[in-house]
Amino acid sequence: MEIYLPIAEQSMNVFVLFALGGAAGLLAGMFGVGGGFLATPLLIFVGIPPAVAVASQANQVVANSVSSLQVQWRRGNVDLRMGLVLLLGGMLGSSAGVWLFTWLKRIGQVDFVIAVMYVVLLSSIGFLMLFESLSTYVKRRRNPTAPRGKRHTHYLVHRLPGKMRFYKSKLYISAFLPIGLGFVIGILSAILGVGGGFVLVPAMIYLLGMPTTVVIGTSNFQILFVAANVTFLQAATNGTVDVVLALLLILGGVVGAPIGSRIAARLPGVVLRALMAVLVLGVATELLFELLRTPPSPYSLGPREVLP
Amino acid sequence: MIRLLLLLLTLLVSDLAWAQRIEPPPGSVPAPALGGPPDAGLPPSVPSASAMPELIVDLSQPRVSITSAFQGESLLLFGMFDTPGEIVVVVQGPAARETVLRKERFFGLWLNTGRQQFDDVPAYYFIAASAPLQRLLARGAGGEILSLDDRLASIRPVRQRSPARLAEFRQGLVEVKRREDLYPAAFGHVTMQASRLFRAELPFPSRLPEGVYDVRTYLLRDGKIVAAVSRPLPVGKVGFSAQLAGWSTQAGPLYGLGAIVMALVLGWLGGAVLRRL
């Protein structure tokens, strides 16, 4: 069954889009990340213009993060103070990102930048995760009762000015750190159409040293508002949010998420992270291949300009 | 006897009138010769041989409506003409500025490095004919009826560069348009029936730019255009699709807020409902 997408200006199979949303939801349920990093490249791959894919995916992230946040908030897993500080950077970053996106679109380099950023991000994160889960696995097998190591270590980052106390996260760090992190995630959000959870969550654990219990909830909080900001700005400046496309992705995600969390409940964390790492690396490899491969046709068309 | 002479004279005059009408001034858009007796100078009492128009054309639909279920569409063009003759149909989308991008290898990566803009590029271009087009055009009608190559020869590069490079980009433009079925590669066939009726299929793909298209039908006799009928064909979104696209362009911020509210409500409901299952 085909449906015409009014903003993408083409017809697409309803079930393909629904399945894509479902896959993203499945990942969200399994790994606690948005799944946008998989859905956006796939949308582009099936022929949705990158500008529309990114903007509509941001809209889907809003729905995705509000349903996760619902659960996390009730469990008291949101560090509101940290979330707001992150959000300050996130709002600035996503606004800058939308502006950057518009500029890239105008000079015709948006596809390339999206692809390169995905390859760099996904491959580095994929390798980190794979390495981490493998080493954990090996350590556990050798000595199952080994202590997990120190709560957090003190790095250079703890010497930055503007220190702030984050009670829930049990942290006393410079506010510039979460602001800067939020800024970077905001840019990624705007350009890649992802929530950025797959970068934000490891960064909060390893860079800020936040306890894992509040990480998912707090990142969901920041992602919700950043994705909403991206949706709003993309709609207002570029007019590239396709609500029909977003609706199908959201509906797919709503079905996929609980299936994902059921799978996650049955698998040990190490296996889960290794699986995720393999998946991330797979997407990165495919995108890299697309960049290196000689294209079937070197030509493409930029946006049509109807002159008055 | 006198009446017979008069009739002959009428025929002769109407023939002359045709001859005058078929030569459009160079560079001008030919006036559509649809309907109406062309021989206005004749006394009305005299029965005119050309009271019937030589070429009548209609389309199976007055417009192409892009609805939520739109997947591309094939329109039927049909009509009647005075034999003998050949029929050529040219469908042209609205002209606009197109940007052609070209990927080149850059440190091993394929990157859009070449860029050329052209003005006056038709969004869509399709020709159908009742006989091989090359033969029809070679016989003199070529000035008015343009094959795709001839039509594209007149698009204007926004930035000048060497003719060889321009030709490459022009070729690239055709390649992309072909891929999207906006410049259908095959010439369409105009099929004749009972040697007076004709029909042709006009194929429109799903990724169709909006605007007013021009459907022009020509009647050729001995390599000359004897009649032409021009019909505008509006292509546009209707219903739900049109509403959404309209809001998106005219009220972007409001549309964005609407999209956020939709996502919030669905996400919230989805989360709430599925937790109970």
Cα(A204)–Cα(A86) distance, rounded to whole angstroms? Answer: 10
* pLDDT 10s digits, B163-185: 888 888 888 999 999 988 899 87
Best CA proximity match to A26, nearest among A210, A279, A269? A279
Out of B209, B241, B268, closest to residue A67 by CB: B268
Q: What is the pLDDT of residues B10-41, one digit of tens each?
A: 444 444 444 333 333 444 444 444 433 444 44
pLDDT given for residue A183 in this prediction? 93
Helix (H) or strand (E) holding A166: strand A163-166
The pLDDT, as a whole number, for residue B141 is 63
Average pLDDT, chain B: 78
Number of H helices, E strands in chain A: 10, 5
CA distance B267 to B261: 10
- Minimum CA–CA partner of A254 in chain B: B270
Domain segments of chain A as ranges: 7-140+154-292
pLDDT in the model for residue B21: 39
Q: At what angle do helices A50-74 and A212-233 cross, to 10 degrees?
A: 140
pLDDT less than 70: residues of chain A: 32, 143-161, 307-308
Q: Is the ipTM of this complex over 0.90?
A: no
Cβ contact, residue pair B259, A68, below 8 Å: no
B241 touches chain A (CB under 8 A): yes
B86 and B129 in contact (C-beta within 8 Å)?
yes
Instruction: Please tell me which residue of chain B has the smallest CA distance to A56.
Output: B259
CB atoms within 10 A of CB B2: 6
pLDDT at A143: 66
Q: What is the pLDDT of residue B32?
A: 42
Residue of chain A minimizing CA distance to B71: A11
Chain A residues with beta carbon closer than 8 angstroms to that of B262: 59, 243, 246-247
- B103 to A234: CB separation less than 8 angstroms, yes or no: no
User: Residue B228 pLDDT more than 80?
Assistant: yes
At B59, the pLDDT band (50, 70, 90 cuts) reads very high
Using the 8-state DSSP alphabet, how is residue A144 labeled? T
> Residue A209 corresponds to which tokens in the numbers above?
């040293």
pLDDT higher for B117 or B133?
B117
Beta partners for A2? A13
